[in-house]
Amino acid sequence: MVSSITRTSGISGGSTSEVEGLGKGIESSFGLNLIPLPANPLFGTDGIRGRVGELLNAPLALQVGFWTGIVLRNHATQVGPVILGQDSRNSSDMLAMALSAGLTAAGLEVWYLGLCPTPCVAYLTSISDAIGGVMISASHNPPEDNGIKVFSANGGKLPQILQTEIEAGLRGKISPIARVSNCGRHYSRFELVEDYSSALKKPLNGALNLQGMKIVLDLAWGAAVGLAPSVFTQMGAEVICLHNEADGDRINVNCGSTHLDILAATVQEHNADIGFGFDGDADRVLAVDNTGRQVNGDYILYLWGRHLQQNQQLPDNLIVSTVMANLGFEKAWQQIGGNLIRTAVGDQYVQAEMQRTGGMLGGEQSGHILCRHYAVTGDGLLTALHIASLVREAGVPLSELVDRSFQTYPQLLRNVRVVDRDRRLGWQDCQPVQQAIALAEAAMGDSGRILVRASGTEPVIRVMVEAANAELTNYWTNELVSKVQQHLMD
């Protein structure tokens, strides 16, 4: 345990500002059940997420904080603090403070980190005596959205059974096991972020540094703006930054991991070795090679997996990915003796399968990468540091490493906006869409693959088609998107 991660009775350097809890018997004065909640579960694939002012508002955050605190307390062997962080969205201050009020109302101590990446919250939770962690962020979503991510004491995603208990409390289906009789406290612990920074660099200290590398970072106006440039500079790289101020109006807007064009152009303009694009809370990252070509999570997993495999650090040569992983990646990995297990889309499913199988490397094509040698959850900064180090050690450009790896099958992913939540989550009951999928699968046979699913984080139906040639991919993507638009959109 890092020495500075101590209980607040021994705080040195932390702020002394405190917010007292709301007092005895607070559960009776919260106005529970007065907030209308949707019939469908609040927790999606990555916590609670939605449009601020609609699903997400301060009263809901207050109650989520309270019931999260109650559930974490009930399942803890001893009471410890809850670690709280946030991204740069305009609504994050409001939601973080409301959530902290709920946690302190549950009698808990809150350690508030302020602006920081999501994996910073997970890491500090895992190495301290915290009973859980909470991050206020909507990850890669647009500025008007926000979310609440809850971590268990080990830094992993909160188990489904505890999410269900929190939601039962929100819906008035349970009462606290014991009456809350103490006031919690809120402490600003901004200095703890430096412990996370040190942990990022530690595995690479004494090994190859990034001296001589020119690296472009697109920070998406988000959570990593203060941390990423210093970490890469301290590792010896020459750093060029894009979108590197905290800006709640522009977070993720035409930048970061979901919009790599500016990053690619900047890499080429400055003749840089590599570029990395992060999302708003920096738990995911995508790369751009020295030619400006985009390098997605499949390539990152293959290259990192190959490196670990060659160093006998990959048990059973196993990589865990999702149903979105490209067939070209899967076949190339198998050709060098690797095993690939696919899960449902969502890093929580990847993480659960890694824990079940003992897998040490896993992730998603979209850039959530988890290496259990170094982290307890997906971490964009950690991944970027290790990929840059891997390139430095190889002594050849990233473009050459990519060329040696595999060729992707043509794959198209289209998002169809379906605002009606019931229609979106119940899309499998739509017979015309199901018939179109069956027709496409029969026509392509073994030469293609189809995945249609409702997003767990956005109001969209995702249609993915992968085939041996681009003509088939384009044709069946258009056919399926047309059916979804015709039968599921308002």
Place of tokens 């297990």: 341
CA angle at 377 for the pair 248 and 214, rounded to the nearest 5°:
65
Q: What are phi and psi of 367, to 5 degrees?
A: 115, 0
Task: Give the Cα-Cα-Cα angle 432, 436, 438 (nearest 5 degrees).
Answer: 115
Contacts of 151 (CB under 8 A, 6+ apart): 121, 122, 125, 132, 133, 134, 135, 157, 158, 377
Q: Please enumerate in sequence order all residues whose Cβ is within 8 A of that of 386, keeping only pairs 6 or more positions apart, or say none.
A: 203, 204, 304, 371, 374
Rounded to an integer, what distance in angstroms lies between the CA atom of residue 406 and that of residue 399?
12
Tokens of 279: 């999302």
Instruction: Estimate the crossing angle of helix 58-75 against helix 160-170, to 10 degrees.
Output: 130
Strand order, beta sheet including 285-288: 238-242, 214-218, 274-278, 285-288, 294-295
Give the residue numbers of the binding site for Mg(2+). Answer: 139, 279, 281, 283
The 10 Å Cβ neighbour count of residue 235 is: 22
Residue tagged active-site, from 88, 139, 366, 405: 139
Binding-site positions read 139, 279, 281, 283
128 belongs to the catalytic site? no
Active-site positions read 139
